[in-house]
Chain A
């Protein structure tokens, strides 16, 4: 018999992955709010979730929508500047390599960033990702591959610069 697990187990099992998905899609600064809104919405809707649902895909779908909300709110309140200043993270201090990684991911175009986050961070298959972001499974696969290709250059470049500096 399928059974609904206590929500605490969902937080323990998937909290870290959802946090990294939020950091990949939004950057460390806004990941805090996106994670909190995702799990509050998930807790609220949890009793109605079918017992055999894929919990991780469900959480990533909610996180995806919350990230869009946060991005829109950010755009509404943004003041245009010539150069984006480096912002300190509000969620602890990610270690150097991790901060470099998220900075590199955050510079990717939105579709690539989402495909990389949902496939390589959350481990979702491309068909699930297509259902979340729209478009075809092939398009999701291509976006992830293009994103990883760019990251290989940009993140590895940042690492080397950091090591020689």
Chain B
């Protein structure tokens, strides 16, 4: 055996390493949780609206992101704004995944997992606090939400608060529409908003 072959063998991973790494990753998730050094866990979830990213802190669900938001960028923002101690740790998001599955199957109309609003501050936060009061299958206009939050002239700011909602679906910003009844913008895309409102309206009627 020549030196180049030997050096190449030392540098290149063996086929069996992948399995080992999968097991070691699971052990790291458990160790990190036990030592309380895991600040953010995340997983992905396949839904009728594409793959969602779900991320939680020790306080609760902190981020739900659509594919078009770019999951890598979402995780980088979480690293910067909350903590870079982030691991893919699906089991810690089992409850959220189950509730979202039930929602998309038409068997759930509200979510009860704990939420962490670390990514929403000030007026945006007070808008998000109001949104769960808009019930399943109902809508409010941006102006109505502004009124309800005690700042009737802050219609545009309500729009921004909805557009930057870190917890779409779970905090139902899709139920806020334009005063003329048209759907308006949505973090998951206008088509996603239409699908959600159509689904909720038909299930409420049925």
Interface set of A (CB-CB < 8 Å, partner B): 3-9, 11, 15-17, 19-20, 24, 32, 35-36, 39-40, 43-44, 46-47, 91-95, 97-98, 101, 105, 116, 120-121, 123, 148, 151-152, 155-156, 159
Decide: A16 and B10 in contact? CB cutoff 8 A.
no
- Nearest-neighbour CB distance to chain A for B57, whole angstroms, equals 13
Decide: B24 and A92 in contact? CB cutoff 8 A.
no
Quick check: which of B32-40, B146-154, B162-170 contacts chain A, the rest being far away? B32-40
Contacts of B18 in A (CB 8 A): 16
Quick check: which of B76-84, B118-126, B130-138, B191-199 contacts chain A, the rest being far away? B76-84
Decide: A8 and B88 in contact? CB cutoff 8 A.
yes
Contacts of B16 in A (CB 8 A): 92-95, 98
Give residues 99-138 of B contacting A (CB, 8 Å).
Answer: none
Do A40 and B31 contact each other (CB < 8 Å), given the known contacts A7-B87, A46-B85, A148-B6?
yes
Select from chain A the residue with minimum beta-carbon distance to B88: A8
Contacts of A15 in B (CB 8 A): 21, 24-25
Q: Which one, A6, A20, A36, A123, contacts B84 given CB within 8 A?
A: A6
Q: Which one, B1, B2, B19, B85, contacts A7 given CB within 8 A?
A: B85
Decide: A152 and B1 in contact? CB cutoff 8 A.
yes
Decide: B17 and A156 in contact? CB cutoff 8 A.
no
Interface set of B (CB-CB < 8 Å, partner A): 1-3, 6-7, 9-11, 13-21, 23-25, 27-28, 31-32, 35, 37-38, 40, 42, 75-76, 78-80, 83-88
- Nearest-neighbour CB distance to chain A for B80, whole angstroms, equals 6
Contacts of B14 in A (CB 8 A): 94-95, 98
A–B complex contacts, Cβ < 8 Å, 17 sampled: A6-B75, A6-B79, A7-B84, A8-B75, A8-B88, A15-B25, A19-B21, A20-B10, A20-B13, A32-B24, A47-B83, A92-B23, A93-B16, A97-B9, A116-B10, A155-B6, A156-B6
Select from chain A the residue with minimum beta-carbon distance to B10: A120
Contacts of A35 in B (CB 8 A): 24
- Nearest-neighbour CB distance to chain B for A72, whole angstroms, equals 21
Decide: A148 and B20 in contact? CB cutoff 8 A.
no
Contacts of B17 in A (CB 8 A): 16, 19-20
Q: How far is the CA of A160 from the CA of B88 in the complex (A)?
A: 43
Contacts of A120 in B (CB 8 A): 7, 10-11
Q: Which one, B9, B32, B76, contacts A40 given CB within 8 A?
A: B32
Q: How far is the CA of A8 from the CA of B42 in the complex (A)?
A: 10
Decide: A43 and B75 in contact? CB cutoff 8 A.
no
Decide: A123 and B85 in contact? CB cutoff 8 A.
no
Q: How far is the CA of A16 from the CA of B88 in the complex (A)?
A: 17
Decide: B31 and A36 in contact? CB cutoff 8 A.
yes
- Nearest-neighbour CB distance to chain A for B62, whole angstroms, equals 13
Contacts of B9 in A (CB 8 A): 97, 101
Q: How far is the CA of A122 from the CA of B64 in the complex (A)?
A: 36
Do A36 and B28 contact each other (CB < 8 Å), given the known contacts A5-B84, A43-B85?
yes
Which of B13, B16, B38, B75: most chain A CB closer than 10 A? B16
Q: Which one, B6, B37, B79, contacts A151 given CB within 8 A?
A: B6
- Nearest-neighbour CB distance to chain B for A149, whole angstroms, equals 9
